[in-house]
């Protein structure tokens, strides 16, 4: 039983490393777009820290003192931050989606060319409908990884690192 589970874990690990290698090689021609997206993710993570800070400043300062002019200034800064966050999030999503969709198109083309270059015996053994169905399903799975899972992991991970860093800078004894 133990050898079966270790074999299964090894197989899953090799599939994950193969998928990662496929993604890295497919995204390599679009590394500039991925770089810009990652850079904008850092900006997004930094901007995600600003609204709570502004809220804390508003509560401790203008609201406690009844200073409406200062509160209006903080409100304007909060709005500018929200708009900036929207624009930067849109930009990194655009760059990442462009790179991802082009990489997927390249993968799709390579896979279809590979299938088209098979001999007649291959098509006799494997029904065409099954091949197309599996190919489409696999491409959709890679698309899901590129478009949602990877983006969420990157953005949330970077945001967590920035928030912890800001917390330590503000009060290291926290």
Could you tell me which residues come within 8 angstroms of residue 25 by beta carbon, excluding any fewer than 6 positions away? none
Could you tell me which residues come within 8 angstroms of residue 27 by beta carbon, excluding any fewer than 6 positions away? 34, 99, 100, 103
**Torsion of the alpha carbons at 11, 132, 20 and 28, rounded to the nearest 10:** 160
Residue 9 has pLDDT above 70, yes or no: no
The average confidence (pLDDT) of the chain is 82
**Mean per-residue pLDDT, 74-86:** 94
**Mean per-residue pLDDT, 39-58:** 88
Q: What's the predicted TM-score (pTM) here?
A: 0.70
**With bands split at pLDDT 50, 70 and 90, how would you rate the model's confidence at 7?**
low
**With bands split at pLDDT 50, 70 and 90, how would you rate the model's confidence at 11?**
low
**With bands split at pLDDT 50, 70 and 90, how would you rate the model's confidence at 10?**
low
Residue 8 has pLDDT above 60, yes or no: no
148-158 pLDDT per residue, tens = 777 777 778 87
Write down the pLDDT at residue 62: 87
CA 32 to chain centre: 15
Q: Is 87 helix (H, G, I), strand (E, B) or coil?
A: helix
Q: What are phi and psi of 148, to 5 degrees?
A: -125, -65
Could you tell me which residues come within 8 angstroms of residue 81 by beta carbon, excluding any fewer than 6 positions away? 47, 50, 51, 54
If one compares 146 and 76, the residue with the highest pLDDT of the two is: 76
**Mean per-residue pLDDT, 128-144:** 81
87-130 pLDDT per residue, tens = 999 998 899 888 888 988 888 888 888 888 888 888 888 888 88
């Amino acid at each position: 039983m133990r050898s079966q589970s270790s074999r299964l874990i090894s197989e899953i690990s090799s599939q994950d490393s193969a998928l990662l290698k496929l993604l890295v090689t497919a995204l390599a021609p679009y590394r500039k777009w991925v770089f810009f997206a990652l850079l904008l993710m850092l900006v997004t993570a930094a901007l995600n820290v600003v609204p709570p800070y502004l809220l804390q400043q508003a509560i401790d300062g203008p609201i406690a003192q009844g200073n409406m002019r200062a509160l209006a200034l903080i409100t304007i800064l909060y709005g500018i931050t929200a708009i900036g966050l929207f624009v930067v999030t849109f930009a990194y999503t655009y760059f990442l989606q462009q790179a991802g969709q082009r990489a997927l198109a390249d993968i799709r083309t390579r896979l279809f060319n590979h299938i088209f270059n098979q001999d007649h015996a291959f098509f006799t053994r494997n029904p065409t409908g099954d091949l197309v169905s599996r190919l489409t399903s696999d491409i959709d799975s890679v698309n899901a990884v590129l478009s949602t899972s990877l983006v969420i992991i990157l953005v949330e991970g970077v945001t967590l690192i920035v928030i912890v860093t800001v917390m330590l800078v503000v009060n290291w004894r926290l």
